[in-house]
Amino acid sequence: MNLFSRSSLSSRSHGRTLLLGFAVWLISSSHQLSWCEQTSPTDRLPNTALLEETEPLDEVMVAGIDRFALKEIQRASQQRIKQWDQDVLQAENQSAAFKQKRAEFSQLIGCIDTRIPANGIHLISQVDRSALIVSNDLFEILHVKWPVLEGLEAEGYFLRPKSKPIARIVAIPDAQWTPEQICGLSKSPTRYAADLAALGCEVLVPAIVNRSNEFSANPTIGRSTNLSHREFLYRQAFELGRHIIGYEVQKILAAVDQFEFRNSNEEILPIGVCGVSEGGLLAFYSAAIDERIDGALVSGYFNQRDEVWKEPIYRNVWRLLVTFGDAQIASMIAPRELLIEVDPIIPIPSPLPDRGRKVAAPGEIARPVRSRVEQELTIARKAWDQVEALSSQSQGRLVAKNSDQDSNQPIGPTRSSQFVQQLTKRVSPPPAIQSYKLSNTSDAVNPLDRQQRMVQAITRYTQRKLQLSQRERDKIWSPLNRTSVEEWKEDAGSVRSKMHEELIGRLPKPTLPIQPRTRRIITDQHYDAYEVVLDVYPDVIASGILILPKGIKEGEKRPVVVCQHGLEGTPMDTIHDQESRGYRAYKSFSVQLVKEGFIVYAPQNPYRGKDAFRTLQRKSNPLGRTLFSYIIPQHLVTLRWLSQLPSVDADRIGFYGLSYGGKTAVRVPPFLPPTEDEPGYALSICSADFNEWVSKNASIDAPFSYVWTPEYEIFEWNMGNLANYAELAMLMSPRPFMVERGHDDGVGIDEWVAWEFAKVRRHYAKLGIANQTEIEFFNGPHTINGKGTFDFLKRHLDH
């Protein structure tokens, strides 16, 4: 029986060829390793079953978490309906319940900043160019802008009817379209903004960020990408609790502010919003948030959201599916008017490489399955009826229609007339849209220049929020009591819980029997190594390699070092000798620590398999979870098992991780302190990862920023306002914490690392335990150094 797991030996692409080659290496290497061909009791650890899994354990792990996440999405769908009914629809004060949900929804889409008060729509003109773009017998089109946030304006068109207006509407194009297209100024499948103006409505049309990528770049540092403009802005904003969706909803609500301003100075008219595809999303969300909007026409967006993880990443909204499916969002519009046009989804494929640049996340917009749309509509109608039954407002309607049968176009003339009829609550529809022509009286606005202005303005705004984010973190962390270790521990508990819930995403503690399965995979003159699998949740396992030094005496208790691999790694990477590709980074540090007398456990973490694992983050974010929502319970179960082993001192288990393993070092041990009920990590070492992490994720000025790389899973919602690496490291205290940093490591620069660590050092010093933390700089790249860190382990694990 071959006892080697392919997860320890090879990548998927090499298969059995590499497995055979590695077996030859094992025999021929200086380690003189051997393995058992026959199963015997010594081929597994005592009190464990024999591990018989033949598939690579990293693949088994990732596939299992994937199944778990998909089942959790389905469970959330059912729970969401019940919870909404209980918390909102049947609430004693339904109005207050809806107000709370609107505020919660605004937070989740990053629509949180205070807008500039409206003081009138501003014309955009020049000495040699009028703001007037078009004028005919029915309406005129003006080039305009209006303020949104500090330093951020909306730009677009104001369509003003020549007759007395009957309504005021914000018309939003899809991200593939320009405002000119829906205004009828250029070729388009629809011109609903112009149609609404012809029906007698004032119409504001904001330009929105499109899906091209010309400006997803920073030429100053030589960086360009194939990120759509929407994903480019999403990546920066998500880390700071903002969102491209939130920014654009702010544009629409600022337009509503302008209409309210006009209502205060002129006749009060109903206010509506409408849009197609991405514009439909924005109209839908805006109407749900703002009760000043009397009605919404949403075309090509309404659907079930259980597969939102397949859509473009700029639609990824943290915790969305916990509370807000499209049915629940629709009910926040009740009892106002909502007209849903079902069919005209505009398919958008996944981003393609552009001139060799391929860092964009996969994701597409596909035509919906009609039965799924109908299921969501059924839930929405039921909720709508319950709201109407308790409402004192005049009753609106939830109406769903197919695309305009006359023209087979999104928001065609018939649908525009129907929307105006609903919005103005007319018994009979308005007159049919009169034929009209559009003759330019001005040079056209350059859409490409306007797009550049928009992308750069939102970028500047977001980068300023990045600069100020430390102030937001200080509001949480500065008040904590540092007068003594005991006072700190008492205060830190509540903050640790907050970070676990809001930053990581907490899963319930595992309660399944562990059912350890093991098999010996290496016998060496210095140690024996066993592959281990433990159960965590249904479908979710923890796995790794336990390395036991030879010569442990009966009754002897030794410290354990958990040695964590990095991105796309396996536990065996931490074991390989100098002939292996992995040695350059890991320096066989698991084996070196075993030779120092430590017991070593090298876990498999699930960040392996490229899109296979990255989409786990996509599936988890809408549930308020991250990849580390699973990794923390995996490590907890591992600690439980390790602490039961007869040769392990459960009070002396340390953690040492490289790269993504260093990322783990500040996201797992801080949340697993030893308690009376559970084992925990006694110390943590972060190697080749510690950084001014928020800036590394959100900055466009750092060449090593994740804005420029393929790791689309790396961004963590609102981290900039919750905790940077310094704050996460503080949660280790009073336990020891260390950073290992190579001067030539390209993940960052020494100045950023030192800046962030200085805050950790000050914190430990304030507690009177400065000797519990340290940093080692060394001449070298992205690698284990194994000098000061080994001394740190020996000193603090008393070995």
How is residue 66 written in tokens? 């994937």
Name the CA radius of gyration of the chain, rounded. 30
Residue 31 confidence (pLDDT) above 60: no
Contact 553, 753 (CB under 8 A): no
Whole-model pTM: value is 0.93
Residue 28 confidence (pLDDT) above 70: no
Q: Tell me, rounded to whole angstroms, the distance of Cα 562 from its chain centroid.
A: 28
Number of other CB atoms surrounding residue 322 within 10 Å: 17
CA distance 311 to 314: 8
Range list of β-strands (E), 583-669: 599-604, 648-658
Residue 770 confidence (pLDDT) above 90: yes
Q: Specify the pairing of strand 683-687 against strand 152-161.
A: unpaired
Q: Which pLDDT tens digit goes with each residue over 252-306?
A: 999 999 999 999 988 899 999 999 999 999 999 999 999 999 999 999 999 999 9
Among the ranges given (71-75, 126-130, 597-601), the one the predictor scored with the smallest mean pLDDT? 126-130
Q: Which pLDDT tens digit goes with each residue over 54-81?
A: 999 999 999 999 999 999 999 999 999 9
Contact 465, 243 (CB under 8 A): no
Q: Is 261 helix (H, G, I), strand (E, B) or coil?
A: helix
Residue 86 confidence (pLDDT) above 90: yes
Residue 796 confidence (pLDDT) above 90: yes
CA distance 391 to 193: 32
**What number is the average pLDDT over the span 673-688?**
97
Q: Specify the pairing of strand 152-161 against strand 167-172.
A: unpaired
Q: Give percent above pLDDT 70 in the chain.
A: 91
CA distance 761 to 767: 10
Q: Which pLDDT tens digit goes with each residue over 329-352?
A: 999 999 999 999 987 677 888 887
Residue 391 confidence (pLDDT) above 90: no
Q: Which pLDDT tens digit goes with each residue over 611-622?
A: 999 999 999 999
CA distance 331 to 88: 10
CA distance 507 to 71: 14
User: Is the bond preceding 734 in cis, omega lying within 30 degrees of 0?
Assistant: yes
**Which distant-in-sequence residues (6+ apart) come within 8 Å of 132 by Cβ?**
140, 141, 142, 143, 441, 442
CA distance 43 to 741: 39
pLDDT, position 34:
37
Report the DSSP beta bridge partners of residue 529: 522, 547
pLDDT tier for residue 212 given thresholds of 50, 70 and 90: very high
What is the chain's mean pLDDT, rounded? Answer: 92
CA distances from 537 to 365, 507, 514, 637 (A): 32, 10, 9, 10
pLDDT, position 352:
73
Q: Which pLDDT tens digit goes with each residue over 150-175?
A: 999 999 999 999 999 999 999 999 99
pLDDT, position 38:
43
| Ramachandran bin of 446, using left for φ above 0, alpha for ψ from -120 to 50, beta for the remaining angles | beta
pLDDT, position 536:
98
CA distance 272 to 362: 34
Residue 13 confidence (pLDDT) above 60: no
CA distance 87 to 84: 5
Q: Is 656 helix (H, G, I), strand (E, B) or coil?
A: strand
How is residue 231 written in tokens? 């994903």
**What number is the average pLDDT over the span 732-747?**
98
More confident of the two residues 436 and 516: 516
More confident of the two residues 370 and 241: 241
pLDDT, position 393:
63
CA distances from 576 to 27, 44, 312, 501, 552 (A): 13, 22, 39, 37, 23
Residue 444 confidence (pLDDT) above 80: no
Contact 740, 791 (CB under 8 A): no
**What number is the average pLDDT over the span 122-145?**
94
Number of other CB atoms surrounding residue 782 within 10 Å: 18
Q: Is 727 helix (H, G, I), strand (E, B) or coil?
A: helix
How is residue 338 written in tokens? 């909502």
**Which distant-in-sequence residues (6+ apart) come within 8 Å of 327 by Cβ?**
81, 376, 377, 379, 380, 383
Contact 108, 245 (CB under 8 A): no
CA distance 195 to 426: 18
Q: Which pLDDT tens digit goes with each residue over 505-534?
A: 999 999 999 999 999 999 999 999 999 999
State the DSSP H helix or E strand holding residue 201, giving kind and residue range, or none if neither: strand 201-206
**What number is the average pLDDT over the span 675-685?**
97
Q: Rounded to the nearest 5°, which phi and psi values hold at 339?
A: -115, 120
CA distance 152 to 577: 55
pLDDT, position 403:
66
Q: Which pLDDT tens digit goes with each residue over 171-200?
A: 999 999 999 999 999 988 899 999 999 999
Q: Which pLDDT tens digit goes with each residue over 687-702?
A: 999 999 999 999 999 9
Q: Tell me, rounded to whole angstroms, the distance of Cα 602 from its chain centroid.
A: 28
Contact 293, 282 (CB under 8 A): no
Report the DSSP beta bridge partners of residue 736: none
Contact 113, 149 (CB under 8 A): yes
How is residue 207 written in tokens? 């330009």
Number of other CB atoms surrounding residue 58 within 10 Å: 27
**Which distant-in-sequence residues (6+ apart) come within 8 Å of 679 by Cβ?**
639, 640, 642, 643, 650, 653
More confident of the two residues 462 and 440: 462
Number of other CB atoms surrounding residue 479 within 10 Å: 9
pLDDT, position 442:
53
CA distance 460 to 470: 17
CA distance 266 to 67: 57
